Amino acid sequence: MAEEKVVKKVVAVKAEDKEEKAAKLADPVASSIDVATQEMIVRAQKLGIETIFDRAENMKPCNIGIQGICCKNCSMGPCRLPLPKGGIIGEDTRKGLCGATANTIAARNFIRMIAGGAAAHSDHGRCVAEVFNSAARKESDAYKIKDVHKLLAVAAHLGVATKVMLDGKEVDRNTDEIAVEVGEKALNEWGKPEGELLYLKRAPKPLYEKWQKTGVLPRNIDREIVEIMHRTHMGVDQDYKNLMKQGTRAALADGWGGSMLATDLQDILFGTPYPLQSEANLGVLKQDHVNIVIHGHEPVLSEMIVAVAQKSELIEYAKSKGAKGIQLSGICCTANEILQRHGVPLCGTFLQQELAIITGAVDAMVVDIQCIMQNIANVAKCFHTKLITTHPIARMEQPNVIHIEFDEHYALQDAEKIIRIAIDNFQNRSADVLIPRHKATQIAGFGVESIEYHLGGTFRGSYYTLNDNIINGRIRGIGGVVGCNNARSRHNEAHIAIVKELIKNDVIVLTTGCNGIACAMEGLLTPETAGVFCGPGLAEVCETVGIPPVLHLGSCVDNSRILLAATEVIRAGGLGKDLCDLPAAGSAPEWMSEKAISIGHYFVASGVYTIFGGTLPVSGAPVFKKYLFEDMEKIYGGMWDLEADPIKHAHKMIAHIDKKRKELGIDKARERVLMDMADRQKLEAV
Ligand code: BF8
């Protein structure tokens, strides 16, 4: 009966869509490796509700656009420059109406993606900086400085004094004054008229000098993004190398600017993450609780929802409506933020947002910015779910969407209003609730500070232990595996295959974003995983120290934590002088967003070999592609690569790690670890 009601609503939704045609359905098993996801795709199809998996069957990507060789920057086009059959005859044979070559067009498109990604991360950072300022000035009761230790550390990087002279003696400066100045200095990084970003000097000195020599030091965050839009306007920059130089400035302004500031200011306001236990996958939803799913990226509102949902008054209110309590869970990077700091469980990755609603158990889905599919409003229409947008720059036009604009000055009130809407909606569940039983335990909450603590202890916290284990070969190297899901590939398949192959080969993995969620769902974020999936060296380290072989460092802006962790490894000594010396590699197996391109490029420009899965929009411009894949290494020490096959992809990373071990002269130590069990027993007997 309840299912019939859903079907009726689906029919009504479809009637509104005049264009609706008979469409192919996705094969659930071919669409995802995750059983919970498969089950929900089956349910959606039974109910006649279309999801992204079905849409991917019915619309194929443009074959020219996918290669990066379509220019739509003026109205004489779009000019499309397909590769001639039989290959390139001469690079000048393919031109747009203005004469733009494939390399110019692909480079313009590529750096516009960097601009989009850097803008998204950095605008998120700006919003956090604004909230930070209002907290520092005590304009809001809701936000307070939580981590004073981190405030003082950040102050040093922003040139804010933490000591003052009083009666001829140096004394600690008032924390409130420091916070106000930190907030002002931080916000200034977005638009200061002169100089360069202050955080660039946090990089190892040789890397900073390399950027300086190459002329790519970002001046301020906004300017580098604006300049990309100018240079890629019709008839401006026509040199793919010069275009990439600007792309590099903007990407660095993201990684070592907007993203890093976002992470730091969030840590000061909401607390620096430390390891904690939680769960992941659609099975975290609870049939007998009010389920509120928080989705998006900025933690400024979700932090308040987490705080308010624990109020006994609201829990009692939920009980008065027949629920046993309030269950919060998250999707995408807002999820990672509240997981890292509070242990709020992960409901799913980017590709599971529609499916969460299809369980029929979600009483409210609260969204802020980024990675929010427009179609969730259509899916919500078929159920009782209240879909609530909260951000002025990310609204939805569908009439069933409620907009509650979040104001940091009334943060607690806004959060309470949202929770009450969800509670009031509990009794309106119209469909049978079908929550997949699948969920996994995870240990998350890692970061620069907690890695140091775990590997070095409270009193001698440092990266020496990590370095020692890399030098002696128990840990072969470091893999940063991050990024999205992409409906063009089987959900989570490449993420998991690559991570498993890396840890099997003794490469410790640092993860963020949807890769972190995928690994959590697969149960890879537990110390026990080490004995099952890791090579002997990595297993030994993880078992001794009690850490998982895959360390979840948070959201996509938290990729800045990976940059800083790598910098700490250099500082601890023995593994070179620059990030490009490290036996390390980066990967985004199932990338889809512009943010991933910006992240990829700031890793490349920071000296990291960075490999993407799927496709990259550069294949139609072989000269430009070679510049990214080969020539970049001579400039920055890092370069781009692409490999769709997950096992080959992992082995390309391992080959790069081994190349770096050889250059560091520690490849022999690695051979020692590859002794068989008998050899090791002999050694232990001695
Ligand atoms: O910033 S990994 S799909 S959720 S873009 Fe989006 Fe990609 Fe997921 Fe987070 Ni990042």
Q: Distances in Å between the alpha carbon of 426 and those of 397, 431, 445?
A: 24, 12, 31
Residue 113 CA, ligand 1 centroid: distance in Å: 15
Residue 552 CA, ligand 1 centroid: distance in Å: 14
513 lines ligand 1 (CB under 6 A): yes
Q: What is the reported pLDDT for 555?
A: 97
* Helices and strands of the chain, counted as H and E runs: 30, 18
Is-contact 325 366, C-beta < 8 A?
no
Residue 211 CA, ligand 1 centroid: distance in Å: 28
Give the ligand 1 atom nearest the CA of 517.
8
549 lines ligand 1 (CB under 6 A): no
Residue ID of nearest Cα to ligand 1 atom 7:
484
| Positions of the chain with pLDDT lower than 50, given as ranges | 1, 458, 674-675, 679-686
Q: Which residues, including other chains, have CB under 8 Å from residue 307's CB and lie 6 or more apart?
A: 142, 412, 415
Ordered domains of the chain (ranges, CATH): 102-270 (1.20.1270.30), 276-428 (3.40.50.2030), 443-664 (3.40.50.2030)
Q: What is the reported pLDDT for 457?
A: 57
Structure-block tokens of residue 343: 């242990």
Beta partners for 478?
A: 508, 584
Q: What is the reported pLDDT for 672?
A: 57
580 lines ligand 1 (CB under 6 A): no
- Alpha carbons within 13 angstroms on the beta-carbon side of residue 194 total 0
491 lines ligand 1 (CB under 6 A): no
Whole-model pTM: value is: 0.95
Structure-block tokens of residue 35: 């059983």
372 lines ligand 1 (CB under 6 A): no
595 lines ligand 1 (CB under 6 A): yes
Residue 596 CA, ligand 1 centroid: distance in Å: 8
330 lines ligand 1 (CB under 6 A): no
584: left (phi over 0), alpha (psi -120 to 50) or beta: beta
Is-contact 599 570, C-beta < 8 A?
no
Residue 480 CA, ligand 1 centroid: distance in Å: 15
Residue 555 CA, ligand 1 centroid: distance in Å: 8
List, for residues 418-476, the tens digit of each pLDDT value.
999 999 999 999 889 999 999 999 999 999 998 888 776 545 557 888 999 999 999 99
Structure-block tokens of residue 628: 């990214």
556 lines ligand 1 (CB under 6 A): yes
Q: Is 271 exposed, middle or buried (CB count within 10 Å of its CB: 0-12, 13-18, 19+)?
A: middle
Residue ID of nearest Cα to ligand 1 atom 1:
556
296 lines ligand 1 (CB under 6 A): no
d(CA 52, CA 41): 10
117 lines ligand 1 (CB under 6 A): no
591 lines ligand 1 (CB under 6 A): no
Q: What is the reported pLDDT for 675?
A: 47
160 lines ligand 1 (CB under 6 A): no
